[in-house]
Amino acid sequence: MTILRSLYTNRYLFGQMLQRDVLQRYRGSQLGFLWAFLYPIMMLLVYTFVFGMVMRVKWGVEGQDNIDFGLILFAGLLCHGLLAEVVMGAVGIIRGNGQYVKKVVFPLEVLNFVSIANAFLHMLLGLLILMVLFVASGNPIHSTVLLTPVVLAPFLIFLIGLSFFVAVLGVYVRDLSQFVGVLITVLLFLGPIVYPFTSVPIEIQPYVYWFNPLTIIVEQLRAVMLFGQYPNWADLGLYTVFACLMLILGMWFFQRTRDGFADVI
């Protein structure tokens, strides 16, 4: 694809802009990049305290109650947080970089990839912290954890395609950020993030499973990282096909409309 070739051609620019964005994220704070580790640790402690100690919530799935609710919840929230950061960042990424839009030779697609890579890097740090605390809680590391990249790959492909699609809409639809904010909140509560999938009424389970882009990934990520189970290969395969279609659609939509960005901005 043209966009992927452009990313390879401009890989040095991508690296420099990613480094700038990561550093800029914590610029002005005294602890700097340490916040990338401290923030998820503090949030995990809060989740564990509220749900595990105050509300004494159990996951309610046989064979999984020995795992702290906070760890299971945190795994889901990391996926949701990645989606939220990628989508919200894509909404204004073109309008927010108008100085690049008006430069004919500047590869605008790099902006999207930098934003996604920045968000994904911080999710990986969160997953590292999750595993450290998982082991520190007395749980064994399962061999299935090696399949984590296999689970995350289709999710990342889906987010790349979605981000290009949203980036275009963000140029032409000014109220998109408000709608996206509500949608992201809806996806949080209409998916198995704060409750097990088995708690969903059986008559609507197929809709929650297939129409929420988080459900399959969250379920499979928890399976390989925390529960020592192999992913559902059939469902993950169908998700991968859907993700590839989203990638093709998003990049095609971006290429077809990019010539009009300068006129709107």
Q: How far apart are CA 47 and CA 175, in angstroms?
A: 32
The domain spans of the chain are: 2-259
57-71 per-position pLDDT tens digit: 666 655 555 567 788
- The answer to whether the predicted template modeling score (pTM) of the entire model surpasses 0.75 is yes
In one-letter notation, the amino acid at residue 107 is P
pLDDT at 157 over 60: yes
Average pLDDT over residues 140-153: 95
Instruction: Please check whether residue 1 is in contact with residue 251, taking contact to mean a CB–CB distance below 8 angstroms.
Output: yes
The stretch 162-180 carries a mean pLDDT of 91
User: For the segment 205-231, what is each residue's pLDDT rounded down to a tens digit?
Assistant: 888 888 899 999 999 999 999 999 999
Element (H, E) at 42: helix 35-47
Find out whether 236 and 149 touch, Cβ atoms under 8 Å. Answer: no
pLDDT recorded at residue 183: 92
